Amino acid sequence: MITINMHFCGSLKNIGVNEETTLEFEESINCDELLDELEKRFPAFAKYRKYVLCAVNNEFIDDTYQFKDNDRLDILPPASGG
């Protein structure tokens, strides 16, 4: 069993998920597969999907990252500014 502890930052807190969320999977998945799962569970996440940045244990990752048990995933919303 793989447990992933997730932290949704900034405007992502408004998609209907708790700021801190834990998901469990029977086997290891990669980041792209996890983001697919988040779209299924939280449909409002879909509009952010292609813009978010992901970091595991304070290191940025790409979509191919293979999660390990008890990884901490920070999901960062798109940057904005003026």
**pLDDT one-digit tens code per residue, 21-71:** 999 999 999 999 999 999 999 999 999 999 999 999 999 999 999 999 999
Q: How many domains does the structure of the chain reveal?
A: 1
Q: Does residue 81 fall inside a structural domain?
A: no
CA distance linking residue 14 with residue 16, whole number of Å? 6
Cβ proximity of 42 and 52 under 8 Å: no
pLDDT at 10 exceeding the cut of 60: yes
CA distance linking residue 34 with residue 58, whole number of Å? 18
- CATH number for the domain harbouring residue 8: 3.10.20.30
Cβ-proximal residues to 55 (8 Å cutoff; 6+ apart), any chain? 61, 73, 74, 76
Q: Does residue 82 fall inside a structural domain?
A: no
- Which run of H or E residues covers position 33? helix 31-41
Residue numbers of the domain that contains 11:
2-76
